[in-house]
Amino acid sequence: MQMRMNVLAVVGAVALVGAGYGVGVAQGYQPHMQNALAALQTAQHELRIAEENKGGHRANALRLVNQAITEVQAGIAVGAGM
């Protein structure tokens, strides 16, 4: 009887650890945030290669996109529990 209780305790502990891992993976996988990051990185690239004669608006847009990239990366990290 004691052996059966030990086996059940081990199985239960393994199940809890596995469930905790699954929750961590689910939190780490953030497709909408990842898609937003990719879109911002594309915008960043396009702004970098655009002509500079935009009255400072291109440079300001690039600054804001860089800031948005930093914020999205921070959000992904928080969502992943980092």
Is residue 79 within 8 A of residue 30, CB to CB? The reply is: yes
pLDDT classification of 11: cutoffs 50, 70, 90: very low
Which residues are CB-contacts of 80 (< 8 A; sequence separation ≥ 6)? 24, 27, 28, 30
Tell me the pLDDT tens digit for each residue of 70-81. 999 999 999 998
For 7, how many CA atoms within 13 A lie in the half-sphere containing its CB?
4
Q: Could you tell me the residue ranges of all domains in the chain?
A: 2-79
Signed CA dihedral, 44, 48, 50, 53: sign only: positive
- Distance separating alpha carbons of residues 81 and 75, to the nearest angstrom: 10
Tell me the pLDDT tens digit for each residue of 30-58. 999 999 999 999 999 999 999 999 999 99
Is residue 11 within 8 A of residue 54, CB to CB? The reply is: no
Q: Name the DSSP letter for residue 24.
A: H
Q: Is the pLDDT of residue 3 over 60?
A: no
